[in-house]
Amino acid sequence: MLIDLSGKTALVTGSTQGIGAAIAAGLAAAGARVAVNGRSLESVEAAVERLGADGGEFFAAVGDIATDEGAGAVFGAVPDVDVLVNSLGIFGARPALEIEDAEWRRYFETNVLSAVRMIRHYLPGMVDRSWGRIQNIASDSAVAIPAEMIHYGMSKTALLAVTRGFAKEAAGTGVTVNSVIAGPTHTAGVEDFVYELVDRDLPWDEAQRAFMRDHRPQSLLGRLIEPEEIAHLVVYLSSPFASATTGGAVRVDGGYVDSILP
């Protein structure tokens, strides 16, 4: 299957590293012009340079989209897009009874409302052009709430509802809106998270196996997913080939969620 996104402009939020950076690289490899988003000019410029070293067209879209001001800066840098991928997200372990109101709000603002803000701005232009692709990067934690971070799970569950609702708003327009349910994925941030839960003295390969065995035993893959594996699905959903897939929660979770449907 040859996916050609030449002539398309894509914005990937939270794309200076990890899953977001892998998605940006995948979209650019398919021919899209990709806006790289992060909170600081330094981190975004470094990511643009790093990603561009392998080819493809990237440009900066600096701004903290969890705030109105930061979102406005991104809108100024990227007035219209054909592909929007809401990849920005925060996570971390916290005992349920120790999660205070401010932290609940921070998770909702960052993981949910930032995506709503982006969709609200870019969807009308997509509808006017009768083509567009919107994807929200969700998580297995949306449907299998982890006891050690229920605030994160809550935010990803909400993102599934946001996706379904906006897919209905875009019904019949040529614009598709989907969630991608990513399973436990190998990123620098996840390495830190793994070492919060297992012996820090273990070498990484042993720590990863211990984490999957003790904290994610449902995984059929038996290992962490690589960011590029998430990107492959996102690139497909961003293409004309995915024209009949909308309102869905599409899984690339290594078989983690133990159900036929989310």
Active site residues: 152
Q: The tokens of 121 are what?
A: 């701005």
Which candidate, 91, 114, 131, 134, places its Cα nearest to that of 37?
114
Q: Residue 171, SS3?
A: coil
Contact 88, 156 (CB under 8 A): no
Sign of CA dihedral 54, 58, 64, 67: negative
Give the rounded distance of the alpha carbon of 194 from its chain centre: 19
Which amino acid, one-letter code, is at 169?
A: E
* Alpha carbons 178 and 235: distance in angstroms, whole number: 12
What contacts 150, CB < 8 A, 6 or more positions away?
96, 99
What stretch of H or E contains 169? helix 150-169
Tell me the sheet residues that pair with 252.
182
Instruction: Output the CA torsion 36→42→46→47 (10° steps).
Output: -20
Residue with tokens 């929007």: 84
Tell me the sheet residues that pair with 37.
61
Instruction: Output the CA torsion 237→243→246→252 (10° steps).
Output: -30
